[in-house]
Structure 1
Amino acid sequence: MMKGKALRLAIFAGLVGSTVSVLSAHAMTEKESVTVLNPVVVTAQRFETKDLDTPASVTVLDQEDLKNSGAKSIFDAVGQATGITTFSYGPLGLEFGGMESRTNIRGLDRSSLVLVNGAPINLDGKNSLNGLMMDNVERIEIVRGAASAQYGSEALGGVVNVITKTPTKSHGSIETRIGNEGYKKYATTVGTDKIEISTSKEYYGAQAKTSPDRIGRNYYNTRNKGYAHNIAVNVKPHDYVTINYMRQQSDSTYGQISTIPKAKWTTKKSALTETKYWHYRDIKNNGSIVYDDTTTKATLFFNTRRLVGESNSLANPKYVQSPYNYGAYKIGTEAQHTWKLYGDTHKAVLGVMGVHEAYQGLSDANKKVKADRNIMALYGNYEFQITPSFSTTIGGRYQVINDPINNQNVFTPQWQTLYKIDKSRSIYTNVGKAFTMPNIHDAFKWVTDLKDKKVSEYIKIPGGDLKPEEGWNYEIGFKQANKRDSWRVSLYHMRFKNFFDWAENPLDGNRKTIRINGGEFRNTGIEAEYKSYVTSDLIMTLGASYSNPQKQEIKATNWVQTAPKLELNAAFDYEKDKWQAGLSASYWGIRAFNRDGKRNPAFINVNAHVNYSPNESQTIGLYVNNVLNRQNVISQGDWEYWDLPRNYYVNYSYRF
């Protein structure tokens, strides 16, 4: 076993080493390198700043970064960033009904607020990146650290802002991917200087086993084939106005396969010892109208989700509707203005936001579940220079929340400082508070009268004192960007309380179906990123993070690890003449413990690709994911779900 592990690590090192050794001469201008190493950021401060002038930990993934990651999805690409771990029940971040993938920042589960062009798309506590087309993305900005002062609820660990492409000129493209494991993709884009329309359909094959055997429960998980159909429309009717719309419809089926030999299937068998299948149709929409003249920005946005599932078993082969089917939506509007004062040495932002979100049960069992929430927010920040080298920013957000369980008035402050050592180096501090509201449907509890055997149903909680999760983030960091390389280092401490937990419900056989507050989370860690032009045509990016994410359950005295302690990332991009190649590698080590009391195995994933462009219109590529063919666990904690084995696809694109 040790020899096999050593061999895999040797192969891993060899792949990295061989990529570094590919050096040549493809000229890149100094301006281009400075732009890549010190990019413009709009998410952290709500106005444009260079990364060196931003008092927060930021990573910007542009189109080249996304391509070089070798990732098939935005979910996988974001998961390769330093300080980010992902939780998924299927490869590519695939979801199965209410089993949603999620992106965690700094070890804090469900800690990311996901934005599209600055508008929030989290729904009912879910921060899924599914439904967003990589083909339609201009760049992704990741801001680590508590960000509720800027963006409100759900930004405990940070923000992921997906910024879509803007129409620029008449163009078109077609793309085809064919690979193993049943993978296929067909995509096309057409556009002018006013409108761009992209659509794709992606198919994935069945996976015989997505988890180990569930010892004591006599089953393992499997996945059947499925698809995702995406469309994105970007319109620019005016220099200051953009209209964006995205839709995804996905179809997935997962199952629990019995491990009992020659089982006699009857209706009396426990659901956990039967072969069962759950089939889901998931439809997501999001859109926005944005006015932005660089000083005033106004946005009208919406996002919706409709999840409809059904299940069957050998004992009951006819599909029946899932009791958890639901629809949810969010609509809102926001406006902000930026003032530049005293020769741009001072900047002020003042904004207002209103949001209405709702949840509706769609099954017979949960049709009584109808809940909504209204949020009004006033926010602002003021940045001023104390000396030519030292500046500070004070900000805050006040929210009035009309909630179905407990109304809230929440104030979240933030204080940042930035010291410019010289033109290429800076030191910053960032202290901020953040919070998350309970899910809307937590206003209901599931009730089953076991004695009278009445039909199970939801009833509304009469009042209650459920509080938001809330806490603080403290951070100090160093940034450096030269002509050929850059450094980003941050040291942070986080602590949050009132974490949502489950309590026993005496009306439901003492099952844990009532939401309560309980427990705390803490984490102290260090993150470092290094990016370098090794030669004029080879870019290297390295990242490392070491932390100690822990959660203390309600009424417990011990702290339990929640996420990997060690993360390492590496990416290489080589381009010369008609050839382009990339390699990326990710490692998660010292992971959380699983249900057997053992640590989840180290996650090591290597992606590699090579592209050849015979002319400006065509590109042919070969992409290989999970090069080392590892049985990677892509979930965190108790129950393990596995990624795909080594998989590949051939890509052909034509641009006109």
Structure 2
Amino acid sequence: MVKSFFLFCLLLATYAGVPLVARAQQQQDTLYQHLQGVEIFGKPAEVFAAGSRIATLDSTYLRTYISSSLAEALQARTPVYVRTYGASGISSVSFRGTGASHTAVLWNGLNIALPSLGQSDFATLPLSGVGEVAVQHGASGSTYGNGAIGGAVLLSSPAYTGKGFGGELQQEVGSFGRYYTNAAVNYKNQKLSVGASAFWHLAQNRFTYRDYARFGAPERTQENAEVQQQGFTQDLTWHLSPKSYLAFRSWYTSTDREVQPSLGAAYQNANQLDKNLRLMAEYNLSSRWGETNIKTAYFSDYLQYTDVETHSETAIKTYQLQAEQTYTYGRQWSLRGGINLQHFRGDVDGYGGAVEENRSSAFILFRFDPSQQLNLSLNLRQTFIKGYNPAPTPTIGANWNFFSQSNHSLYLKGNIAGSYRVPTLNDRFWRPGGNPELKPEQGWNYEGGLRHVYSSGDFLIESEATVYYMLVDNWIQWMPTRGYWSPVNLQKVRSQGVELSSRASKKIGGVALGATAGYTYASSEQVASYEGPEELNLQLAYVPLHKATLSTDASFRSWTFLGYLMYNGLRYTNNNNTSSLPHFALLNLSLGKQFKLGQNKLLATARVDNATNTDYKTMQNLPMPGRSYTFSLRFTIP
């Protein structure tokens, strides 16, 4: 019945002629929002995340690196750790020493993680498909639901601001057989906002590397690592009245990639094809009873893996419905209540038959501002899944501006949050190895920090320090057993660490300068075990203790310069800490020049990635590219 209801909603939206949604409430896409006169930091859902650390990727970087994947953007501009399986493989993201399945990924407010894996492949999420990227650190299960143990990545569709017609065409070429083409068009008037874009990307990845698996470490050319990707987005918003709108969005990506072989491994001619389609319809109404928002969505995720011995297919259909009601009273408080319904159907060769599952949750989010200096939030979510009995997940947070004098402001922040994660479909149903007796993960996150803002004229500096402590019971991890791998519950994992960041900007004459620095220390260890003490109090595999980033940007008249330096510390490749990958640092640089062609603009950009030609690996025995050059032209019609 739930599935039929979802299908009815989607068919109704399509029949009504709603061809595809844009971001309707443009005023809510800005970094700062106003709640009845009270200034609030964050995007709509983040309004209820007082005391949490939230960062938004700057638009200049997103436009410069539009041909990159979301994985590359997060690695360069945030303190999260990105694990990339070679030059053509999947990419996963982890916050604060947690795993990839502990990161919630939301597209316009709905979770898009694959229920089979419990995570998203960030290599299949191109930047050309999103308009804004934000990350929330720490547990946020009460706000974003299942899987938000380490953090959440929040993606929004592009927002179209200018009235009338606009468009863009971009062509890019680069080293190692890299080509990229992107075209976009949009139109907006008082009633209608429409936008569409399409892209094509080819990366042959024929770079040279040292083969340390062979005697003398000879130089070789990488083979079987080509990636070809194409996709489109379409967004439409129709304002039915000044207080209501109807919207429809779509995002399709096809990724065909050769699976890069490990050093010393036999050539398997492995290939992986991913096809991801996301459709969403949204209705929003503002009335004296508050704001009503209803979203219904259909996601289709298909994966085909082949090699000389294997042919495996995975087809996952997801149906979602989310309804929210938000009521704001005066200048002091806002209350949001809602429900989320999900239906999954998995046709996976590894399951031995189709699997279906329903999940639902009810949540209530409360924001209270007793004064302009103090913001409080209290959230609660209860999830319902057959066969499991998750405990309610609460969050309580506070943000206190306890000192403001002259040009200085100091904020004290903190929160306590519960989280949970139900075993994925693969965890339970994969044959052989699936374990239907797995317990769900349950965690608690404690964090506190200090934020300082100094502003004087056109000089601004903002710094933040956060400490956190997290405990996760029944952490799920796949382990080798009886000739195959199977998931087991580790009794308890502890993650603790420090996050530091600072951003400064200044105008000197006609030059605008900016710099951002960040550092994270993340200790993640198993501290209790059901099986024994063999691997207790050791750093978990592929979790670096240290990560640091430094980025700079400068603009003068029609010139723009961007540079960033990223450092990843040593990473162990197993949980007993007997082997590791060394630390490395990457330097990327870009220089752009804008030309005016009447009312239109032409931007020429030259980039150097891995400028120091560092020899590094993100996964054991999988080489990564050395220094590469990219040149692009982007023609824009305002």
Alignment of 1:398-417 (within 5 A): 398-402=382-386, 406-417=387-398
Q: How far apart in 1 are the matches of 2:473 and 2:214? A: 33
Name the residue aligned to 1:453.
Answer: none
Name the residue aligned to 2:173.
Answer: 178
How far did residue 58 of structure 1 move?
0.7
Name the residue aligned to 1:430.
Answer: 415
Name the residue aligned to 1:19.
Answer: none
Name the residue aligned to 1:264.
Answer: none
Name the residue aligned to 1:10.
Answer: none
Q: How far apart in 2 are the matches of 1:310 and 1:518? A: 32
Name the residue aligned to 2:607.
Answer: 623
CA separation of 1:166 and 1:34: change in aligned 2, threshold 3 A: closer
CA separation of 1:242 and 1:632: change in aligned 2, threshold 3 A: farther
Kept in 2, the 8 Å contact 1:198–1:231? The answer is yes
Q: How far apart in 2 are the matches of 1:245 and 1:358? A: 20
1:614 aligns with 2:595: yes
Number of residues of Structure 1 aligned to a counterpart in Structure 2: 563
Name the residue aligned to 1:355.
Answer: 342
Alignment of 1:130-529 (within 5 A): 130-168=123-161, 169=163, 170-193=165-188, 194-207=193-206, 223-238=224-239, 240-254=245-259, 256=261, 259=264, 274-293=266-285, 295-312=291-308, 321-322=310-311, 324-341=312-329, 343-362=330-349, 366=350, 368-386=352-370, 389-402=373-386, 406-422=387-403, 424-447=409-432, 464-483=436-455, 484-502=460-478, 510-529=482-501
Question: Which amino acid letter does the alignment assign opposite residue 140 of structure 1?
Answer: V
Question: Which amino acid letter does the alignment assign opposite residue 331 of structure 2?
Answer: D
How far did residue 387 of structure 1 move?
5.4
SS of the equivalent of 2:259 reads strand
CA separation of 1:255 and 1:135: change in aligned 2, threshold 3 A: closer
SS of the equivalent of 2:71 reads helix
Q: How far apart in 1 are the matches of 2:440 and 2:555? A: 49
Name the residue aligned to 2:13.
Answer: none
Q: How far apart in 2 are the matches of 1:354 and 1:397? A: 13
SS of the equivalent of 1:499 reads strand
SS of the equivalent of 2:156 reads strand
CA separation of 1:184 and 1:57: change in aligned 2, threshold 3 A: same
Name the residue aligned to 1:564.
Answer: 544
1:581 aligns with 2:561: yes
Kept in 1, the 8 Å contact 2:471–2:492? The answer is yes
1:549 aligns with 2:524: yes
Alignment of 1:598-609 (within 5 A): 598-609=579-590
How far did residue 576 of structure 1 move?
0.9
Alignment of 1:60-99 (within 5 A): 60-67=56-63, 72-91=68-87, 94-95=88-89
SS of the equivalent of 1:233 reads strand
CA separation of 1:347 and 1:476: change in aligned 2, threshold 3 A: same
Kept in 2, the 8 Å contact 1:39–1:60? The answer is no
Same amino acid, percent of matched pairs:
17
Structure 1 gap segments, 5+ residues each: 1-31, 260-271, 313-319, 448-457
Name the residue aligned to 1:18.
Answer: none
TM-score (norm 2): 0.82
Name the residue aligned to 1:42.
Answer: 43
Query: Of the candidates 98, 115, 121, which is equivalent to residue 108 of structure 1?
Result: 98
SS of the equivalent of 1:400 reads strand
Q: How far apart in 2 are the matches of 1:330 and 1:200? A: 25
Name the residue aligned to 1:539.
Answer: 514
Q: How far apart in 2 are the matches of 1:425 and 1:281? A: 50
Shifted more, 234-243 versus 279-288: the winner is 234-243
Deviations along 1:123-177, whole A, 9 cap, x unmatched? Answer: 0212222333323422111000101011111101111001111344411111100
Deviations along 1:357-415, whole A, 9 cap, x unmatched? Answer: 221124xxx4723212211111012222455533432211001012xxx3334311111
Kept in 2, the 8 Å contact 1:82–1:528? The answer is no
Kept in 2, the 8 Å contact 1:375–1:399? The answer is yes
Q: How far apart in 2 are the matches of 1:235 and 1:70? A: 22
Query: Of the candidates 618, 628, 637, which is equivalent to residue 634 of structure 1?
Result: 618
Structure number with higher strand proportion: 2
Kept in 1, the 8 Å contact 2:54–2:137? The answer is yes
Kept in 2, the 8 Å contact 1:208–1:223? The answer is no
Q: How far apart in 2 are the matches of 1:234 and 1:167? A: 10
CA separation of 1:517 and 1:214: change in aligned 2, threshold 3 A: farther
SS of the equivalent of 2:427 reads helix
Question: Which amino acid letter does the alignment assign opposite residue 162 of structure 1?
Answer: L
Q: How well do the aligned residues superpose, as a CA RMSD in angstroms? A: 3.0
CA separation of 1:68 and 1:491: change in aligned 2, threshold 3 A: farther
SS of the equivalent of 2:125 reads coil
Structure 2 gap segments, 5+ residues each: 1-29, 34-38
How far did residue 629 of structure 1 move?
0.7
Question: Which amino acid letter does the alignment assign opposite residue 359 of structure 1?
Answer: G
Q: How far apart in 1 are the matches of 2:428 and 2:129? A: 37
CA separation of 1:212 and 1:499: change in aligned 2, threshold 3 A: farther
How far did residue 208 of structure 1 move?
6.3
Query: Of the candidates 118, 121, 132, which is equivalent to residue 128 of structure 1?
Result: 121
Kept in 2, the 8 Å contact 1:480–1:486? The answer is yes
Question: Which amino acid letter does the alignment assign opposite residue 473 of structure 2?
Answer: K
Kept in 1, the 8 Å contact 2:351–2:430? The answer is no
How far did residue 114 of structure 1 move?
0.6
How far did residue 289 of structure 1 move?
1.7
Q: How far apart in 1 are the matches of 2:124 and 2:267? A: 30
Question: Which amino acid letter does the alignment assign opposite residue 327 of structure 2?
Answer: W
Deviations along 1:307-332, whole A, 9 cap, x unmatched? Answer: 112212xxxxxxx652x321112210
Q: How far apart in 1 are the matches of 2:472 and 2:285? A: 38
Q: How far apart in 1 are the matches of 2:65 and 2:263? A: 37
Q: How far apart in 1 are the matches of 2:524 and 2:351? A: 38
Q: How far apart in 1 are the matches of 2:388 and 2:635? A: 54
Kept in 1, the 8 Å contact 2:374–2:401? The answer is yes
CA separation of 1:297 and 1:422: change in aligned 2, threshold 3 A: farther
Question: Which amino acid letter does the alignment assign opposite residue 412 of structure 2?
Answer: I
How far did residue 214 of structure 1 move?
6.2
Kept in 2, the 8 Å contact 1:285–1:304? The answer is yes
SS of the equivalent of 1:277 reads coil
